Chains A and B, each alone.
Chain A
Amino acid sequence: MTDLFAARAQMAMSLAFHILFAVVGMAMPLLMVIAERLHQRRGDAVYRELAERWSKGTAIMFAVGAVSGTVLSFELGLLWPHFMAFAGPIIGMPFSLEGFAFFLEAIFLGIFLYGRDRVPPLAHLLAGVMVLASGTASAVFVLCANAWMNTPTGYTLGAGGEVVDVDPFAAMWNPASLSEVLHMTSAAFAAVGFAVAGIHAAMLLRGGRRELHRPALRIALTVGAVFALLQPITGDLAAKHVAEHQPIKLAAMEAHFDSERGAPFRIFGWPDEQAEETRYAIEVPYVLSFLAHGDPHAEVKGLKEFPREQRPPVAVVHVAFQIMVGCGLVMIAVASLGAAFAARRRALPDWYLRLLVVSAPLGVIAIEAGWTVTEVGRQPWVIQGVLRTADAVTPMPHLVVPFAAFTALYVVLGVTVLVLLRRVVFAAEVPAHVPVGMSSETSREVAR
């Protein structure tokens, strides 16, 4: 394993791990605030219990998100010092604002989690709203910084290659910012909505308390469905943007080697980078041209237009893109079904609950795949067209050691979080009535 590969692997692993916790920390407050608001308006204790249970899970996820995010902010320098020496000042504005937003999120999460009996109800609700607002804001800022790596703007280079005339706000609101922000924030809400809906659907199927899990499912599924149905719109915006600003990335996403008019949209297929062709794909004619440029006869540039050393790993990007789109389409179908049930005011049948359980991880998978598309699709550049990843890496040797160490650490953490969330979910089931014969080992232990 080369040091460059180890550094990339460590960065990818850290991002993939952190993003799971970051989206929960960002989207769960919406569910918590809705439940809290319903509790305060209707005085129904079930909603209060719901807000508290969701808060517990959020606190666990937020803590791991906070520390894994700290790791990332250091890893930028530990692994990519030359990138940070160049880019740090230019994208400093969104990073600094993110620092403040994260600070506010941590402060008000503390108040929301532990302050229920210490502050008035309205202040408690507003603390939740602040967590939601600042959590979303910090996601927006981080996405702006990432967008800058795709479309670097807001600075000029001096004679000696040094950065001069930085316009921090132009760098922050770079061309890619809007589409990345919209696509990813709504992905986070959709993914978390589906994940939570899946958990409550599972509890209902196990014979859990209906009066608790049904309203929980309703809130989570509504949030998940609304944002899942928004994703085609934000995704279209993102695709058109990529087509214009990063044609190589679009070509890799579609495994599109030859420039052509009326380009087809490929479903499945395996790109052969040596032979420069994509096999076994189902091709839907004209659709790619239409999606990328809004015109079925528009020309879509193929990978052959670009020298090999400027192309990203096509297979990885293409497969990841297929996974993202596939998950998204299934989520849209599930969301539409749910909307149909809601419109007819029908109770959700068991087969639909089972479908929700199966769909629970789809949003998260789509997010991981989507980040693979945008990050691997930008290679070999760390800053598109400006700085190559290989030139940004630290001179530090033996990078495989920190990669292995942090991977092991995160595996242990990940397993622990899963075990812990399971315990918390089951433990909270106990106070009502332990269904005879259904109590797991965990809930029996707690009941003692």
Chain B
Amino acid sequence: MTPDLMIAGVMLVALILYTLTGGADFGGGVWELLAGGPRKDAQRRLIDVSIQPIWEANHVWLILLIVLLFVCFPAAFAAVCTALHVPLALMLVGIVLRGSAFVFSHYDPLHGRGALRWGGVFALASLVTPVTLGIVLGALGSGFEVDPRTGFVATDFVSQWLAPYPFAVGLFTLALFAFLAAVYLVCEADDPLLRADFRARALASAAVVGASALLAFLVAPPAIRHDLSASSWATPLHLATGLAAVAAIVALWTRRDRLARACAMAQVTLIVVGWAVAQYPYLAHPGYTIAGTAAPVSVLTPLLVALALGGLVLFPSLAYLFVVFKRRRAA
């Protein structure tokens, strides 16, 4: 395995972990927005308590991902940031609003009265970021040609992302994050009624996940539809994803909540892996491949060592964080 491929693998892991953790935090914002019924406030409180100690750390996966992209695949980073400036900027606005609104509403001793009515902003920003993240990931599948005159990406700054397929992927991402959050919240809740609330939400969002996946497939350009099934890994991956999804729904239905959580995490992981397999060997199709945009080996090799050493410190710390705050409910 070449160093560039190993780095790409690390980035895939970071994307999966970001989806499983940070993605679920965004999904929590969706349920904050859609909180309702007799236990509206209890729902919001549970979301708040579940996210609070871990969301800052969850967010760093995205930073790690973007740093690895610009360090190891600088040409791809420059091309993506240029052509997708608009959705990326919107995603940033969402990230800023979400992060600040969350902490503002949490720490305000007046609980968002007066000048600080930020709770709604947190929820709204929780919609913007997953959708734009999905748009960006969907857009990477096609349209990134290198302009032979400049050697830079050929772009009108719009056409790469303003198309049905990226938006369908955006919708899918939002549904997926919401689904994941609902499944987690089922396990976090102590009150059986609250569990039932989120179980119903998880099942409903599972249906939306399926529908938006179908929509994305239907509006996908032929090239992407081809990529989605081209690899010899594609069929077993799709089958496994489908199995995990069905298992998650069955487990939710039969109230095996822990199992449902495991299945949902497997499902989401497989979806991200499936996306990566379809994307391979391109970072941005068709002009920017992993090997073609990789930084010199003199950069990649020391970085891999640094990543390994960093991981030795990071993962035990991260495990400690989750043990401290999630142990009671997981036990």
A residues neighboring B (CB under 8 Å): 56, 59-60, 62-64, 66-71, 73-74, 76-78, 81-82, 84-86, 88-90, 92-93, 95-100, 102-104, 106-111, 113-115, 118-119, 130, 163-169, 394-397, 402, 405-406, 409, 413, 415-417, 419-420, 423-424, 427, 442, 445-446
Inter-chain contact B298/A165, CB cutoff 8 Å: yes
B207 adjacent to chain A (CB < 8 Å): no
* 6 intermolecular pairs with C-beta atoms under 8 Å apart: A60-B103, A66-B56, A67-B99, A92-B70, A96-B67, A100-B314
Chain A positions within 8 Å of B113 at CB level? 445
Q: Given A96-B306, A424-B107, A104 and B314 touching (CB < 8 A)?
A: yes
Chain B positions within 8 Å of A104 at CB level? 313-314, 317
Known pairs A74-B66, A93-B71, A394-B85. 20 more at Cβ < 8 A?
Answer: A64-B100, A67-B99, A71-B95, A71-B96, A77-B80, A84-B78, A93-B302, A96-B64, A96-B67, A97-B306, A99-B63, A99-B67, A104-B314, A108-B317, A111-B320, A130-B317, A165-B296, A166-B295, A417-B104, A420-B116
Chain B positions within 8 Å of A99 at CB level? 60, 63-64, 67, 310
Interface string of B194-208 (1 = CB under 8 A from A): 000000000000000
**Alpha-carbon gap, A424 to B106, bound state (A):** 11
The distance from the CB of A160 to the nearest CB of chain B, in whole angstroms, is 10
The distance from the CB of B308 to the nearest CB of chain A, in whole angstroms, is 11
Inter-chain contact B77/A77, CB cutoff 8 Å: yes
Inter-chain contact B72/A73, CB cutoff 8 Å: no
Q: Nearest 8 CB-CB pairs, A to B? A: A92-B71, A77-B81, A89-B295, A427-B109, A81-B78, A63-B103, A88-B74, A67-B99
Inter-chain contact A409/B78, CB cutoff 8 Å: no
**Alpha-carbon gap, A100 to B103, bound state (A):** 23
Inter-chain contact B72/A92, CB cutoff 8 Å: yes
B118 adjacent to chain A (CB < 8 Å): yes
Chain B residue with Cβ nearest A68: B96
Inter-chain contact A413/B96, CB cutoff 8 Å: yes
Inter-chain contact B78/A424, CB cutoff 8 Å: no
- B100 touches which one: A95, A109, A416 (CB < 8 A)? A416
Query: For this complex, into which size category does the number of interface residues on chain B fall?
Result: 35 or more
The distance from the CB of B163 to the nearest CB of chain A, in whole angstroms, is 19
- B92 touches which one: A70, A89, A164, A446 (CB < 8 A)? A70
The distance from the CB of A132 to the nearest CB of chain B, in whole angstroms, is 15
Q: Given A74-B92, A85-B77, A110 and B54 touching (CB < 8 A)?
A: yes
Chain A positions within 8 Å of B218 at CB level? none
The distance from the CB of B310 to the nearest CB of chain A, in whole angstroms, is 4
B93 adjacent to chain A (CB < 8 Å): yes
Q: Please report whether the interface of chain B is mostly helix, strand, loop or mixed according to DSSP.
A: helix
The distance from the CB of A48 to the nearest CB of chain B, in whole angstroms, is 18
Interface string of B48-75 (1 = CB under 8 A from A): 0000111011011011101110111011
Inter-chain contact A445/B110, CB cutoff 8 Å: yes
Q: Given A99-B63, A405-B93, A416 and B118 touching (CB < 8 A)?
A: yes
**Best-surrounded residue of B52, B64, B115, B299 (most CB of chain A within 10 A):** B299
Q: Given A96-B306, A99-B67, A119-B324, A396 and B85 touching (CB < 8 A)?
A: yes
Inter-chain contact B325/A110, CB cutoff 8 Å: yes
Inter-chain contact B96/A110, CB cutoff 8 Å: no
Inter-chain contact B85/A85, CB cutoff 8 Å: no
Chain A residue with Cβ nearest B52: A114
Q: Given A78-B85, A106-B56, A115 and B77 touching (CB < 8 A)?
A: no
Inter-chain contact B81/A102, CB cutoff 8 Å: no
**Best-surrounded residue of A89, A104, A405 (most CB of chain B within 10 A):** A89
Chain A positions within 8 Å of B102 at CB level? 63
The distance from the CB of B162 to the nearest CB of chain A, in whole angstroms, is 15
The distance from the CB of B50 to the nearest CB of chain A, in whole angstroms, is 12
Chain B residue with Cβ nearest A405: B93
**Alpha-carbon gap, A111 to B53, bound state (A):** 7
Chain B positions within 8 Å of A90 at CB level? 299
B34 adjacent to chain A (CB < 8 Å): no
Chain B positions within 8 Å of A88 at CB level? 70-71, 74, 77, 295
Inter-chain contact A110/B296, CB cutoff 8 Å: no
Inter-chain contact A166/B81, CB cutoff 8 Å: no
**Alpha-carbon gap, A169 to B99, bound state (A):** 33
Q: Given A71-B95, A106-B56, A419-B116, A77 and B78 touching (CB < 8 A)?
A: yes
**Alpha-carbon gap, A164 to B299, bound state (A):** 9
Chain B positions within 8 Å of A119 at CB level? 324
The distance from the CB of B132 to the nearest CB of chain A, in whole angstroms, is 12
**Alpha-carbon gap, A86 to B53, bound state (A):** 38
Inter-chain contact A89/B74, CB cutoff 8 Å: yes
Chain B residue with Cβ nearest A421: B107
The distance from the CB of A363 to the nearest CB of chain B, in whole angstroms, is 24
Chain A positions within 8 Å of B53 at CB level? 110-111, 113-115
Inter-chain contact A60/B95, CB cutoff 8 Å: no
Inter-chain contact B324/A413, CB cutoff 8 Å: no
Inter-chain contact A93/B303, CB cutoff 8 Å: yes
The distance from the CB of A113 to the nearest CB of chain B, in whole angstroms, is 7
**Best-surrounded residue of A69, A84, A409 (most CB of chain B within 10 A):** A84
Interface string of B314-331 (1 = CB under 8 A from A): 100110110011000000
B108 adjacent to chain A (CB < 8 Å): yes
Inter-chain contact B306/A78, CB cutoff 8 Å: no
**Alpha-carbon gap, A406 to B97, bound state (A):** 11
Q: Given A92-B71, A95-B71, A71 and B321 touching (CB < 8 A)?
A: no
The distance from the CB of B195 to the nearest CB of chain A, in whole angstroms, is 23
B42 adjacent to chain A (CB < 8 Å): no
Inter-chain contact B95/A67, CB cutoff 8 Å: yes
**Alpha-carbon gap, A446 to B113, bound state (A):** 11
The distance from the CB of A6 to the nearest CB of chain B, in whole angstroms, is 13
Inter-chain contact B302/A168, CB cutoff 8 Å: yes
Chain B positions within 8 Å of A73 at CB level? 63, 66-67
Chain A residue with Cβ nearest B327: A118
Chain B positions within 8 Å of A445 at CB level? 110, 113
Chain A positions within 8 Å of B72 at CB level? 89, 92
Inter-chain contact A92/B295, CB cutoff 8 Å: yes
**Alpha-carbon gap, A165 to B295, bound state (A):** 11
**Alpha-carbon gap, A99 to B70, bound state (A):** 13
**Best-surrounded residue of A82, A84, A88, A167 (most CB of chain B within 10 A):** A88
Q: Given A107-B321, A424-B109, A419 and B115 touching (CB < 8 A)?
A: yes
